[in-house]
Amino acid sequence: MTTKTLTIGPKIQTALPGPNARRVLAGDEKFISPSYTRSYPMVAKRGRGIVVEDVDGNEFFDFSAGIAVTSTGHCHPEVVAAIQRQAAELIHMSGTDFYYESMVTLAERLSKIAPMPGPHKIYYGNSGAEAIECALKLSRYHTKRQHVIAFLGAFHGRTMGALSLTASKPQQKRRFSPLVPGVTHVRYPDVYRGCVGGQQDADAFALGCARYIEEKLFKTVLAPEEVAAIFVEPVQGEGGYVVAPTIFMQELRRICDTHGIMLVVDEVQSGIGRTGKWFAVEHTGVAPDMVCMAKGIASGMPLGVCMTKAEIMDWVPGSHASTFGGNPVCIAASLATLDVIEKEGLVRNAQEVGNHMLKRMADWPKKHRIVGDVRGRGLMIGVDIVKDQKTREYANADRDRVVEKAFERGVLFLGCGPSTVRIAPPLVVTKDEADIAVDVLEESISAAEANR
């Protein structure tokens, strides 16, 4: 693969899946857990920038970034070099029982970009779910309270604690109960669906979603002094790329301040530049108490981080730790990722290319009867596919068809929520590359529309 191919576009030269892909799929079916949620038979071999080549030599534009992970693009040379250098020096020592300098170096770096004033403290885990587990346990520990509030549509991970907060799809929870008790889910301000028919002003609706907590929950079933934390995604990811209005986030902050509750923002998907700011919560001006991050932080190496205001992380040795969390190689990848993001101006690029894409897609609800809504921030954009623009009924099968058709044309998107196409390319994507993907997506929408 050369850089030249990046500007030409996807190159599909076999039927999909190709012969080598079919061999891998057969092995996968035999050995691999069927719990994974593959949308189409893409068998990756190597990647560079926004291009992923499959095992049959087909080249795809990756507008999923391995589910919003490969922020600096696939195998950015500086990230690769940092991983190689670190692997030759020290692969593991366990920050739980020993010290190494890079744990501190990365913490200092993250503290500088934190969405709340410092000083800060940082916990290292291996995944988004582990960052959430930390926030869940810590919020209980610090406040000595048992209950937490989360939102319908939320996705916070699949470990038992994180899963208790998740409320995105029934199959994620079916047959796994009993989960961690003490979680109450309330409505997330999905303005597009909440204000169907335009009966209600969007801000009033969003404010109502937040006020329900204080005016209904706290006056009926949940004593506020027993609530440790409110967990919220400033942009719901798996739930459908739904943006929380500023007024909603501000009201959550007010409620938390009034009742001594921790405001935890889950930026596992939206953080580290994806939305055109380091953290999506910054678009709202709200300062959280804790922020969880993972996906984009190390360009594909496993690292989860829970960062809090320093005084909140007041637990004692042994109360929480993980053998591999903050592994030296992952930290080296993360430091290189942050360097590349800063040096190449990728946060600004996410904003600019994202705005360019949103502008190009803004009239789709007028042009395409199956497109209900186009929304997002930066390079976290959702295209909502509907059965009927008036009722805004979800069109899950049509959405899946759109995603499949784009795959056949060489662009990788994923679905999210009941009927949204998720657009989340690496932050290095150019406007030219974005134009190619937008064209392919529109063709795929037209094809799905014609098939209906």
Q: Within positions 303 to 342, which residues make up the interface with ligand PLP, using CB under 6 A?
A: none
Binding residue (CB under 6 A) for ligand PLP from 61, 124, 155, 248 = 155
Exposed e or buried b per residue across 202-213, where buried means at least 16 C-beta atoms within 10 angstroms of its C-beta: beebbbbbbeeb
Is residue 129 near ligand PLP by the rule CB under 6 A?
Answer: yes
Site for ligand PLP in 209-248 (CB under 6 A): 233, 237-238
Q: Does 132 bind ligand PLP (CB under 6 A)?
A: yes
Span near ligand PLP by CB under 6 A; candidates 154-162, 219-227, 347-355, 433-441: 154-162
Give 18's contacts (C-beta < 8 A, 6+ positions apart).
54, 55, 56, 57, 58
DSSP secondary structure of 86-127: HHHH-S---TTTS--HHHHHHHHHHHHT-SS-S-EEEEEESS
Site string for ligand PLP, 71-110 (x = CB under 6 A): ----------------------------------------
Q: Which residues touch 62 (CB under 8 Å, ≥6 apart)?
A: 47, 50, 51, 52, 70, 74, 412, 425, 426
Look at strands 411-412 and 414-416 and give their pairing.
unpaired
Size of the site for ligand PLP (CB under 6 A): 14
Stretch that binds ligand PLP, among 42-50, 80-88, 174-182, 264-272 (CB under 6 A): 264-272
Minimum CB separation of residue 442 from ligand PLP in Å reads 26
Question: What is the distance between the alpha carbons of residues 409 and 95, in angstroms, rounded to a whole number?
Answer: 45
Point out the residue whose Cβ comes nearest to ligand PLP. 128
How far is 330 from 373, CA to CA, in rounded Å? 37
153 scored as a contact of ligand PLP (CB under 6 A): no
The smaller minimum CB distance to ligand PLP, of residues 106 and 132, is found at: 132
Q: How far is the CB of 162 from ligand PLP (least distance, A)?
A: 6
Instruction: Name the token pair of 280.
Output: 């999506």
Binding region for ligand PLP (CB under 6 A) out of 152-160, 322-330, 334-342, 380-388? 152-160
d(CA 27, CA 29) in angstroms, rounded, equals 5
The piece of 125-133, 247-255, 377-385, 402-410 that touches ligand PLP (CB under 6 A) is 125-133
Residue 415 found at the interface with ligand PLP (CB under 6 A): no
Query: Which of 128, 300, 378, 382 lies at the binding interface for ligand PLP (CB under 6 A)?
Result: 128
Per CB under 6 A, the segment of 9-17, 109-117, 121-129, 277-285 that binds ligand PLP is 121-129
Q: Residue 238 or 433: which CB sits closer to ligand PLP?
A: 238
Name the E strands within 389-451: 393-394, 411-412, 414-416, 420-423
- Is residue 156 close enough to count as binding ligand PLP by CB under 6 A? yes
Smallest gap from residue 253 Cβ to ligand PLP (A): 19
DSSP 3-state of 291: strand
Residue 127 within binding range of ligand PLP, rule CB under 6 A: yes
Backbone angles phi and psi of 421, in degrees to 5:
-90, 130
Q: Smaller CB distance to ligand PLP: residue 132 or 183?
A: 132
Closest approach of ligand PLP to the CB of residue 238, in Å: 5
Cis peptide before 245 (omega within 30 of 0): no
Interface with ligand PLP in residues 46-75 (CB under 6 A) = none
116-119 long-range contacts (CB < 8 A, ≥24 apart) are 116/287, 116/288, 116/289, 116/291, 116/309, 117/287, 117/309, 118/309, 118/310, 119/309, 119/310
Dihedral sign of CA atoms 302, 308, 310, 314 in order: negative
Q: Which residues contact 108 (CB under 8 A, 6 or more apart)?
A: none
Q: Which is nearer to ligand PLP, 47 or 300 (CB)?
A: 300
**Cβ proximity of 103 and 322 under 8 Å:** no
Assigned token pair, 291: 């922020």
Binding of ligand PLP by 289 (CB under 6 A): no
- Which residue in 9, 18, 125, 157 binds ligand PLP (CB under 6 A)? 157
Of the residues 229, 294, 347, 414, which one makes contact with ligand PLP according to CB under 6 A: 294
Residue written as token pair 């395409």: 368
Q: How many residues does the chain have?
A: 452
Q: Report in angstroms how near the CB of residue 432 gets to ligand PLP at its nearest.
A: 28
Binding segment for ligand PLP (CB under 6 A), chosen from 124-132, 168-176, 390-398, 436-444, is 124-132
Q: How far is the CB of 128 from ligand PLP (least distance, A)?
A: 2
Residues that bind ligand PLP (CB under 6 A): 127-129, 132, 155-157, 233, 237-238, 266, 268-269, 294
